[in-house]
């Protein structure tokens, strides 16, 4: 019998076992979430020069503390393991406190952040708005005329930013015959079927409006809105998504590792969920938002845009929407979640357990990257939020 390779010893399976059919399932996601670019065509979000990250210390003392997130007290370390955490990173007052990495997670390595990509895409929209090239109140057809006749045809850019588009589409992650599965084939995340390959824009422009509903009334979590926003940003700025992010976000943040974003057959960026970055660079994004759009003295976004994102929006549309059970007093603005907590915390959230949590009151930024076996786990989401609140006041 052949001895197991280093890869098999680390992950418990062989690299050829990971395919486009199974890459988002357990146990293969422990590797694929760090290496999405090997499975789906991807474009680079470049840094000027990749800089090795110095060690920032572990969280041994913090992880040994107990919290009650479910019915019984448990250590933070136990919860991180139970919730399939790959990386957990803590910043306080703009400084890295420490990080935890699972045995299979490369320290300071990239990890797909799924729908936190939406929050990053909104930052690019904010940058382009500040340049005077994007008007949130304008009809989307100002920038994408061919969207006329689709669900987006009579929506504004702000409707797209706030996911209040009346879109006839369901986020059915596990149904192989749904429109969502067709969506994933268009973005090259699922194996193609016989026939012509549909592009992501073609799919988006084919989506109908929800009968009898108007835009702006209800928060509807529909990922196509965010891919559509990525196209708006490119059209308004005249630049590719990756170039804009590299120059206007990654460079002023002093990001240390290039990012990646998956693309479709024509190179359209998967702006709703395809970004892979390091936990430390993602934390730098959170710190920039905590500091009102600046990072280490470099202005990236207007303070007014950050304030609107973290406090503005239509709370009634949120209460009528999909996620009010998770954050009853919360809100959603410019693709960031407002928790409604007294501390003013806000966050980006991605499926399979991805979190960027910012608590302005305690100057805390937390990143949690995970490989949870199911896309959505409501119980774990609630427990994660409780953990973040507890950790923010422990430090």
- Whole-number Å distance between alpha carbons of 101 and 106: 7
Q: At what angle do helices 279-290 and 116-130 cross, to 10 degrees?
A: 50
Closest CA to 44 of 324, 206, 241: 241
DSSP 269: B
Distances (CA, A) of 97 to 86, 93, 254, 283, 289: 17, 9, 18, 11, 18
Structure-token pair, residue 85: 């955490």
Closest CA to 140 of 203, 5, 60, 230: 230
Dihedral-angle region of residue 74 (phi above 0 means left; psi in -120 to 50 means alpha; beta otherwise): beta
- Whole-number Å distance between alpha carbons of 246 and 240: 10
Closest CA to 78 of 66, 87, 89, 90: 66
The values of phi and psi at residue 133, to 5°, are: -105, -5
Query: Residue 93: enclosing H or E segment and its boundaries?
Result: none
The alpha carbon dihedral of 23, 29, 35, 37 has a sign of positive
- Whole-number Å distance between alpha carbons of 332 and 315: 8
Please indicate whether residue 223 is annotated as part of the active site. Answer: no
Quick count: other Cβ atoms within 10 Å of Cβ 94?
Answer: 13
Which candidate in 115, 150, 258, 276 is catalytic?
Answer: 115
Return the exposure string of 115-140: e unless at least 16 CB atoms fall within 10 Å of the residue's CB, then b: bbbbbbbbbbbbbbbbeeebebeebb
- Whole-number Å distance between alpha carbons of 280 and 300: 18
Residues with catalytic annotation?
115
């Amino acid at each position: 019998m052949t001895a197991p390779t280093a890869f098999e010893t680390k992950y418990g399976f062989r690299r050829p076992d990971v395919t486009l059919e199974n890459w988002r399932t357990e146990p293969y996601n422990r590797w694929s979430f760090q290496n999405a670019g090997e499975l789906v065509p991807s474009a680079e979000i470049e840094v000027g020069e990749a800089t090795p990250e110095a060690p920032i210390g572990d969280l041994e003392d913090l992880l040994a503390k107990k919290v009650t997130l479910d019915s019984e007290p448990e250590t933070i370390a136990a919860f991180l393991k139970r919730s399939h955490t790959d990386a957990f990173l803590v910043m306080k007052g703009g400084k890295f406190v420490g990080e935890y990495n699972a045995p299979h997670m490369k320290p300071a390595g990239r990890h797909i952040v799924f729908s936190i990509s939406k929050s990053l895409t909104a930052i690019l929209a904010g940058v382009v708005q500040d340049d005077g090239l994007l008007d949130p109140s304008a009809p989307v057809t100002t920038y994408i005329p061919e969207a006329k006749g689709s669900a987006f045809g009579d929506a504004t850019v702000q409707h797209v930013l706030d996911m209040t588009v009346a879109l006839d589409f369901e986020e059915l992650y596990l149904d192989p015959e749904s429109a969502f599965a067709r969506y994933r084939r268009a973005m090259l995340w699922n194996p193609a079927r016989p026939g012509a390959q549909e592009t992501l824009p073609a799919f988006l422009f084919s989506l109908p409006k929800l009968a009898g509903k108007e835009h702006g009334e209800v928060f509807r979590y529909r990922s196509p809105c965010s891919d559509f926003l990525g196209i708006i940003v490119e059209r308004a700025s005249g630049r590719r998504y990756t170039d804009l992010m590299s120059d206007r976000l990654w460079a002023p943040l002093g990001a240390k590792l290039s990012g990646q974003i998956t693309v479709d057959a024509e190179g359209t960026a998967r702006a709703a969920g395809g970004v892979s970055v390091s936990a430390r660079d993602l934390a730098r994004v959170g710190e920039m938002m905590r500091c009102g759009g600046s990072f280490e003295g470099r202005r990236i976004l207007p303070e007014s845009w950050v304030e609107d994102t973290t406090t503005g929006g239509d709370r009634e549309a949120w209460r009528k929407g999909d996620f009010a059970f998770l954050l009853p007093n919360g809100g959603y603005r410019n693709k960031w979640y407002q928790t409604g907590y007294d501390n003013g915390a806000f966050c980006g959230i991605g499926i399979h357990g991805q979190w960027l949590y910012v608590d302005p009151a305690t100057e805390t930024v937390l990143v949690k990257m995970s490989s949870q076996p199911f896309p959505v786990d409501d119980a774990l989401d609630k427990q994660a939020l409780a953990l973040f609140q507890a950790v923010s006041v422990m430090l």
